Structure 1
Amino acid sequence: MPSRQFPIRSGFGATTTAVEALAGRDLSGLTAIVTGGYSGLGTETTRVLSEAGATVVVPARDAAKAGAALAGMKRVELETLDLADPASIDAFAGRFLASGRKLPILVNSAGVMAAPLTRDARGHELQFATNHLGHFRLAARLWPALRAAGGARVISVSSAGHRFAPIDFDDPNFERRDYDKWQAYGQSKTANALFALELDRRGESAGVRAFSVHPGGILTDLVRHLDIEDFRRFGLVDEATGEVRLERRQGFKTVEQGAATQIWCATSPQLDGLGGVYCEDCDVAEPVRGAGEERHGVVPWAMDPEAAARLWPLSERLADIRFDAA
């Protein structure tokens, strides 16, 4: 099958906001789950979906923080979930399935970035475990509700950081190679893109389509692990004083703009009949040849169907779950 990875000229762009990307659609009666829906881009995604009429379930590891961030929002339900804990994922999914609701929208937005080497209880490197394996297990457990929707979309929030690294299939958990926080982050974001590609292939016959998303450069809580050299890399250091100057955010998006592409992918009829593609700036992204200095487009290793197919059984083994998406 020829690649669908080419722009469709949606008419939107880098400055489009989430509200603009929604384009006035009425989501009344629909249910969405937004992981990380109480922080950064997730909060804006929750707000826009709920204000359009959807009931939004926001699973949170920090209930107090989630409650404060989402206070006053209508049709928002707070739940408990730790993506690094399989038992927590299973319990959350079990409660949702017991409610009997269908799930037309699943936005996998939660994540960690450039964290120091940390391992979960199973020994998996935390960025890969949280950003990919946790969402893989969550989608597997929620599969009956996704399939029952008769037309569902799964949004896998990736990043331009996917260009930092492909999947190291021989050592995904940095057990034999030296740990590099950006390599680990890049691997997890590549995994997000490949997961959407393979999930879409497997789920299309069941009416479940999947998309991966680069939100754009946004300064959110994800930067909490960055050091001065990381900020320098992004041009946010005043070299005269050595201070981090977050107001120097040329080229960065607002949160409203950053949430636009995942809202577009979750709701836009422009994507009907499509799936498995990596999107940015409210359009399907351009394929690029390699990980150069430019920050746009998707590199070959993040849209490789053979790598996507290979990642699936690895993810089943590491997450200790069988995911028959069909």
Structure 2
Amino acid sequence: MTTAQTPIGSPFNAASTVDDVMQGVDLTGRVAVVTGGYSGIGLVTAKTLAAAGARVIVPARDQERAQAALASVAGVEVDTMDLSEPASIAAFAARMGERTSSLSTLINSAGVMASALFRDADGHEGQFATNHLGHYRLTCALWPLLKADGARVVSVSSRGHQIAGIDFDDIDFRRRPYDKWVAYGQSKTANALFAVALDARGAADGVRAFSVHPGQILTPLARHLSAEEVAGFDAQDAEGRPIIDPSRGLKTVDQGAATSLWCATSAALEGRGGVYCEDCDIAPINTGEQSRKGVAAWACDPALSERLWTLSEDLTKLGL
């Protein structure tokens, strides 16, 4: 059986940086939105897009922190948005419509990982609500702008999607005990399936969607983890310094942001979409036989992506 999840022989690899993948890329006149663009991988992503000539808008819940991180970066503007609040997302999208008539890039990089149980205003489990439903709402709200420019939409998933698929019978952990890692895995699977379903709807208008695993990088995303949990990842040396070993997925932030930027800009992906990428290439399907590289079958299944899309429409009352 053929699958879109087949590497294309990219000239880049796990050690490639943002400078490598963006060499020669000119984004003058383009407009990009990067959620989470004031911290970690998102910050590097926003800065790199701006350095290539794009006008970059970073919506942020923490305005003080975002302004401090981006104040000296030419070409980047900070706006207000809270991914957990539908009204905030709609208001941001309305302001975007006043700023520009089209949007060439949307990178959904914001997220929460392995937090204690919390719920949004509608009662949905917080990691799923933030990581998936918030970005689903944002993409739908920005759809006219994305469609106008045949944009690329990149959602930052994680190898953590392999922890769990989506429990459609109990997404919100009403009947099963809450497990912060299972909840995280479910939300990251949702990010990957969202790209499959969005691409199926957008391809005819030139809008292509991708999901990515950036690598294992200690960023503020790990703020909910204990010191013991961080140590369990074997990502720091005896002095507490990050271990950099791209062959094991342990990357710098410049290496971690490279795959998102490759998906957003690479000419090699023209005519492609709806795929999960890692190490600056399309990832193969993981069989579970040799390593954790690749995408789980449940995270690239078109039928499951359609089921998630239908559920998302129902939960948000939004669609394209």
Which residue does the alignment assign to 1:130?
A: 130
Distance 1:184 1:246, change over 3 A: farther
1:322 alignment partner AA: L
- Cα separation, 2, equivalents of 1:237 and 1:297: 24
1:283 to 276, 281, 288: 281
Task: Give the CA RMSD over aligned residues.
Answer: 1.6
Ranges in structure 1 where 5+ consecutive residues have no aligned partner: none
Could you tell which deviates more after superposition, 228-237 or 160-169?
228-237
Which residue does the alignment assign to 1:169?
A: 168
Distance 1:50 1:235, change over 3 A: same
Alpha-carbon distance, 1:321 to partner: 2.3
Q: Does 1:254 align with 2:252?
A: yes
Which residue does the alignment assign to 1:203?
A: 202
Could you tell which deviates more after superposition, 245-254 or 13-22?
245-254
Q: Does 1:322 align with 2:318?
A: yes
Question: Any conservation in 2 of the 1:114–1:225 contact (CA below 8 Å)?
Answer: yes
Alpha-carbon distance, 1:289 to partner: 1.8
Normalization by structure 1: what TM-score? 0.94
* Cα deviation digits, residues 141-190 of structure 1 (max 9, x gap): 000000111x2100011000000000010111111110000000000000
Paired-residue identity, %: 57
1:245 to 240, 244, 255: 240
- Cα separation, 2, equivalents of 1:198 and 1:10: 24
Q: Which runs of 4+ in 1 moved over 2 A?
A: 98-101, 243-251, 292-295
- Cα separation, 2, equivalents of 1:46 and 1:295: 28
Alpha-carbon distance, 1:247 to partner: 3.6
Equivalences, count: 317
- Cα separation, 2, equivalents of 1:24 and 1:173: 45
Could you tell which deviates more after superposition, 135-144 or 15-24?
15-24
Question: Any conservation in 2 of the 1:236–1:244 contact (CA below 8 Å)?
Answer: no
- Cα separation, 2, equivalents of 1:281 and 1:194: 19
Normalization by structure 2: what TM-score? 0.95
Distance 1:215 1:236, change over 3 A: closer
Q: Does 1:306 align with 2:291?
A: no
- Cα separation, 1, equivalents of 2:97 and 2:22: 27
Alpha-carbon distance, 1:272 to partner: 0.2
Alpha-carbon distance, 1:137 to partner: 0.4
Which residue does the alignment assign to 1:270?
A: 268
1:310 alignment partner AA: R
- Cα separation, 2, equivalents of 1:226 and 1:179: 16
Ranges in structure 2 where 5+ consecutive residues have no aligned partner: none
- Cα separation, 1, equivalents of 2:214 and 2:144: 28
Matched ranges for 1:94-113 at <5 A: 94-113=94-113
